[in-house]
Structures are given as structure tokens and as C-alpha cells.
Structure 1
Amino acid sequence: MVADSKGKSDISFAGTFASSAFAASFAEICTIPLDTAKVRLQLQKKAVAGDVLPKYRGMLGTVATIAREEGLASLWKGIVPGLHRQCLFGGLRIGMYEPVKNFYVGSDFVGDVPLSKKILAALTTGALGITIANPTDLVKVRLQAEGKLPPGAPRRYSGALNAYSTIVRQEGVGALWTGIGPNIARNAIINAAELASYDQVKQTILKIPGFTDNVVTHLLAGLGAGFFAVCIGSPVDVVKSRMMGDSTYKSTLDCFVKTLRNDGPLAFYKGFIPNFGRLGSWNVIMFLTLEQAKKFVRNIESSS
């Protein structure tokens, strides 16, 4: 992904980190309305007998409802901590992927890196990256979860920085790492699904006659990465969103059991379509941007 055919990085770590942070941030700006819809769908509890129909129905329906009731700008709720998250998490998980992968295979390794090593490297960088970036994820979910309030009711947080300080003041510093368990699970797993599958799909496509390392290859590999990420990561993503959006859950297991008991097993794939719409498009945009950003950085570094 950021390597030549032997798996060795061809640009500096700083260059890779900057390219990764930029690509992840650009993809975040483009796709956060779908992420906001996904969070609202995941937090929506199952209707009991006699209740009115669920407020949010489907990806486009949820987007339309939020835009109609709260204004178009509400779809970009959480964009500031979202960008904080992508600069930190995106830069770290992608930037460290090649060095960690090369560490696992050894400096003398020659040939195609085994898929198991790619998965292990991506699991490692995903877990490390989100451990540092968890507070940004928490604030993003809290801001996205807040819907239309009754007239005169004050908002819980006035913005991202206010949310960080309010959470620390009211709940303690440790609260910024609420949901860290499912978040590490989710991001390590999704990172492995994204980076390892992108790496593997791209490597496979490049062996097919007629395919070269171009935009079409990057597009196909990005779509494959998004699909694998959603299929594998959706259950832990639901648990993570519920724990971050609702402080009544005692633990990851408590959230999992209550969700299963109250809403059924399909609840773990709640918001699957917006999640794939979000992650599929996010991966395509991110990887296409990343490849171009790396090319730009490579040219700068080779000429200096």
C-alpha cells in the first residue's frame, strides 16, 4: 500500500503519516453525513408494542429526516472531533502499517508478504492508534447522537472543545476513554479488514495481465476493503456506538447482552447499509487520495 513490490516503504514515515492524515481527513469530510445517519440508526432502540414507528428508517431516510428537522449542517455534526480523530488515528494506523509489517516479516524478507502478517500488522496499528485517539471518537459520537431538542432546551455541548472539557469536568479524565474495549476491538478488526484486504486485493489485481498500479486498481481494492471492513466490524461498531452514546451500560459485555436480549441479533447489523455506504465510499475516497498524496510526497522527497 505504501510499499514497493518487496514490501519496503519508499517514502519516509513522516511523509506517510502526513499523506495518511490528509487522505483520512478528506474522506471524513466527504462521508460524515452517512456516519451521522449510521450512529442515529445504531442508537435507535427497538420499538415496543403500541409505540409509534421508528423515527429513523434507512440510510437516505435518516439523512433526510436529520436535514429536515435539524438543518443540513447537522449532518456534519462531529466533524471537528472527526478530523481530530482522522489526523491522529488515520495517520498512526496507516503510517505505522508498513514499518510494523516489515518488523513482523523481518528485515531480510524477500517476496510477497503473507496475508497473516498483513492482518497482524493492521491489528497492531489499529489497536495502538485508537488507544491514543479514543477521546476524539467519544466526542464525535456524543455530538452526532444529539438530535433535535425541545424549544428552549440547552444543548449538552456547544462544540467539540466544550465537549472535551465538559466530559472531563463532569465525568473525569477517564471518561474520555469510555468504550475503549469495543473501540479497540472494532478499530483493530476494521483496520485489519481495510488495510490487509486493500493490500491483498491490490497485490492480486496487479498480477492480472492488463492491470497496472492506477486509479482503477485503487478503486477496486478500496471497494473490497470497505466491504470486508463492514461485514467483519459491524457488531463491535454497534456496541461501541451504543456505549459511547448511552452511559447506562456498565460494560462491553453488558451492552452486548442487553442489545441481544432487547433488540435481537440483527441489531448488531443495524445501520449495515449506511455503514457500507459510509465505509465503502470512505475507503474508496481515502485510498484514492492516499495513493495520489503519496505520489506527491514521493516526488518531493526524491527531488530534495
Structure 2
Amino acid sequence: MSGGVAQLRDEGSQTQVAIAGAAAGLVSRFVIAPLDVIKIRLQLQVHSMSDPTSMRGIAGPVYKGTLGTLKQILREEGLTGLWKGNIPAEALYLAYGSVQFSAYTYISHLLDAVPAPYHLPGAATSFISGAAAGACATTATYPLDLLRTRFAAQGRDRVYASIMASIRHIAEHEGPAGFFRGLGAGVSQIVPYMGLFFASYESLKPVMASSVVPLPFGTSDAVAGTIASVLSKTAVYPLDTTRKRLQVQGPMRARYVHRNIPEYRGVASTVIRIWKQEGRRGMYRGLTVSLLKAAPASAVTMWTYERAMAALLAWGEKWKES
């Protein structure tokens, strides 16, 4: 505890944590879905508007910047184009939020129980718990993440007719491993990201709550989540780009909105190839919209989680009294 503000690991039972986490995931996904589609389209683009030599023979669209991509998707695919992949994404965020917060509180309690002199300081406990929770949630929900990416990568021409059709096609043509393409990059990214995020959030939360200018409606949780997210996302973004490039590998690679996505194999070789062929810009393509997405996503997630947990705790108290 610090400044009277409860740490996440001290709030609620495992069931309450799972419910609040699922609610936070669902609300967050609905809010940031269009930005997520824009980010994925930019990350999969291997050519640059500033390099005329890379524009030759491009069959798919060429996106320039966040606003330009938004306008182009609306013009060519309509409003629904901004919510492509939303069904698997909603399932992903619901499951991810539930597993993430449950694992975080469970692991935090285990580490808190370590006796002296081996007991870890609060920041270290938050980092390790966040990293482990992120790895667990990423692995458990990865097939949904892959489906979300593939549907978001579709243009006007549909690659998969439906969710079930995509599952059948991947199982038939790529096998079980097809659902986990890029998992190594996903875990490599999420471990430092979630570790940094939770450590930053737990440190910033009491500072924001006790600020000179009080923030209304519990928005101190949202502000802490926003700052923590921006810092963490920027640090690990190249691995996120690598994950997206690997997720669209397979027999349907040439049918996505970008027709010229290269064939990649393995995390390390993908990172090296992107760096050599596209430079730093390629590694960080879509970072601006990613931060625009990550900030409100984390803010909404943490705000919703804290509000849902407060409601569940209040309901639990009333249930005991009745």
C-alpha cells in the first residue's frame, strides 16, 4: 500500500479478478478496434511512400500515416473495414484480460509469500508478476491473436469467408503450428512489455492519486495506465512488428491487402531482414498509431478494471450482509 491506494494484487478474489479483467478487455477492445486495424495495415506494409524505388510493382494499397490510412480504408472498404477481425479480437481481449489479471495477482501473492531475506521489493514483484502474466495470457490466447491479425489484414477481397472457415483452412494447410506462427516474437515482446507496464503502473498509481490537482472520476488510474503503456510499448515495438509479419505467413500470404509481404522464418531472421531491407523506419512503422491505440487502450483497461473491481467488491460486501 502507498498513500492509501491499494495495489492490484491486493484487490479482490481470483474470481473477481477474472471477471473484472474480462470486462476491462471487452470494453478496451471496442474502443480501440479501428486504431488496431490501422496499426496492423501499417506494420504489414514493407514499402515506403518516401522511397520511390520501393513502389515499383506494388499490387496492394500504399498507406501513408495514420490519418491517410484511416481515410483510405473508409473510402475503399467502408466503416466496417475498421472493425475487421473484431469477433476474434473481442474473444481475445476477454480471455486475455481474464488470464492476465488472474495470473498477475496469483503470481504476486506467491512472490509476496517469499520469506526474508529473499523477499523482493514491490517494483521487482510487479515486474516479474507482470512479465509472467503476460507470457501466460499471450500463449493461452495466441490463436485468437493470429486470427485477429489475418482478418484485419484482409482488404476488399476476403481471404477467409468466416471465422470457422479460417480455422478449418489453417488446420488443414498449416497444421496446429499454424495457429502459433510468431509466438516466439509475441512472448519475447510481451514479457518485457507487461513487466515494465505493471511496474510503472503500480509506481505511478499512488503518485497520480495524490497529485496536487485531484483527477475526477478515478481518472488517475487512466493517466497512470496511459503513461505506463507509452513507455513500455515504445521499448518493445520492433518485436510487435516482427510478430505481425510472422502471423500472416502461410499459403494465403499473397492474398492479403498487401500483396508483397515477404516470406519470413523465425524471429531473429525476421528482425535482421526487416532492419537490413527497411531500416529503423520499417521496425517502427505504425508506432504513432500504436501509441495512439495503446494509450487509450491501457487507460480504458485500467479504468474499467478498477471500476469493475470496486463494483464487485461492493456487491460482495452487500451479499455478506444480506
Normalising by structure 2, report the TM-score: 0.85
After superposition, where does 1:1-304 map in structure 2 within 5 Å?
5=6, 9-47=10-48, 49=53, 51=55, 55-106=62-113, 113-149=121-157, 155-208=158-211, 211=214, 215-247=218-250, 248-304=263-319
CA distance in 2, matches of 1:7, 1:46: 43
Equivalent position amino acid for 1:260 in 2: W
Query: Gaps (5+ residues) in structure 2?
Result: 251-262
CA distance in 1, matches of 2:75, 2:9: 50
Larger deviation, residues 179-188 vs 273-282 = 179-188
CA distance in 2, matches of 1:97, 1:161: 32
CA 1:224–1:165: 2 relative to 1, 3 Å = same
User: How far off is 1:10 after superposition?
Assistant: 3.2
CA distance in 2, matches of 1:85, 1:195: 20
CA distance in 2, matches of 1:99, 1:276: 29
User: How far off is 1:212 after superposition?
Assistant: 8.0
Equivalent position amino acid for 2:53 in 1: A
Larger deviation, residues 229-238 vs 270-279 = 229-238
Q: How many residues align?
A: 297
Equivalent position amino acid for 2:96 in 1: F
2:189–2:236 Cα contact (<8 Å) kept: yes
1:123–1:188 Cα contact (<8 Å) kept: yes
User: How far off is 1:250 after superposition?
Assistant: 1.3
Per the alignment, residue 152 of structure 1 pairs with none
Equivalent position amino acid for 1:140 in 2: R
User: How far off is 1:96 after superposition?
Assistant: 1.8
User: How far off is 1:211 after superposition?
Assistant: 4.8
CA distance in 1, matches of 2:86, 2:309: 24
CA 1:174–1:300: 2 relative to 1, 3 Å = same
CA distance in 2, matches of 1:187, 1:157: 28
CA 1:264–1:206: 2 relative to 1, 3 Å = same
CA distance in 1, matches of 2:313, 2:127: 26
1:202–1:217 Cα contact (<8 Å) kept: yes
Equivalent position amino acid for 2:101 in 1: I
CA 1:209–1:108: 2 relative to 1, 3 Å = farther
Deviations along 1:47-68, one digit per CA (max 9) or x if unpaired, are 4517269711111211111111
CA 1:85–1:210: 2 relative to 1, 3 Å = same
CA 1:50–1:161: 2 relative to 1, 3 Å = closer
CA 1:5–1:222: 2 relative to 1, 3 Å = closer
1:36–1:144 Cα contact (<8 Å) kept: yes
User: How far off is 1:226 after superposition?
Assistant: 2.0
CA distance in 1, matches of 2:177, 2:90: 22
CA 1:112–1:284: 2 relative to 1, 3 Å = farther
User: How far off is 1:14 after superposition?
Assistant: 1.0
CA distance in 2, matches of 1:50, 1:107: 56
User: How far off is 1:114 after superposition?
Assistant: 2.1
1:168–1:175 Cα contact (<8 Å) kept: yes
1:37–1:274 Cα contact (<8 Å) kept: yes
CA 1:113–1:300: 2 relative to 1, 3 Å = farther
Equivalent position amino acid for 1:256 in 2: V
CA distance in 2, matches of 1:259, 1:212: 43
User: How far off is 1:162 after superposition?
Assistant: 2.1
User: How far off is 1:194 after superposition?
Assistant: 2.5
Tell me the C-alpha RMSD between the 2 structures.
Answer: 2.5
Deviations along 1:55-113, one digit per CA (max 9) or x if unpaired, are 1111121111111101110110111111111122111112221221121132678x995
Equivalent position amino acid for 1:198 in 2: Y
